[in-house]
Homo-oligomer: A and B are copies of this chain.
Amino acid sequence: MDAAINLQIPDWLVETAGSGDLSLSSDEERMSFVIGLARDNIRRGTGGPFAAAVFECGGSRPVACGVNMVVSANCAVAHAEIVAIMLACAGLGVYDLSQGPAPGGYELFSSTDPCAMCLGAVPWSGVKRLVCGADGADAEAAGFDEGAKPIDWEAQLIRRGIRVCRHVCRTEAAAVLDEYAADGGIIYNGRQSAASAE
């Protein structure tokens, strides 16, 4: 067994995340930036059509960005949100982002509603707010499996004090999923998905 877990982040993502030129001034601008990462991820061949980013609440530049690297990194759990949360925790030196230095806390932007795993990670991350682009149904229409989420998942987050804002730039976000599917991108776990639909 390896003595460490090591996942290399694509160079272009590290550069983009660290760009000093970013000045994202609204939820729509932040989401459009994240959707752009998902689009770049498929066009550059570094992973699947999903991206996420952690911002200080209302911040103009990301604290950390993640893209789906399941296939490219051979890692079942390397979804965009998990990658972004791991990088944000590492960068800030905290296991709970509510303990980070930003007075207003942190928020997670996801280009698509989180799957069951990433949804479960949201409360553990300590973010105060979740902002989503495409609907989970858009991902499923493209062939992806969202997993078994509680029917009232949005209300469950709100009960934990996490604000939720969905369908921001939904059309733009769903178009990336459709582009990936139309180009014949790997829809992993399609086998399990098919079995569950029987």
List residues of chain A with CB under 8 Å of any chain B CB: 1-9, 11, 14, 17-18, 62-65, 70-71, 73-78, 82-83, 85-87, 89-91, 93-98, 115-121, 123-126, 145, 147-151, 153, 156, 159-161, 188-189, 191-192, 195-196
Contacts and interface: CB of A to CB of B under 8 A. Distances in A.
Contacts of A93: 74
A75 B89 contact: yes
B90 A5 contact: yes
Copies of this chain present: 2
A62 B87 CA distance: 28
A188 B124 CA distance: 9
B9 A5 contact: yes
A145 B121 CA distance: 12
Given A75-B86, A89-B75, A123 B1 contact: no
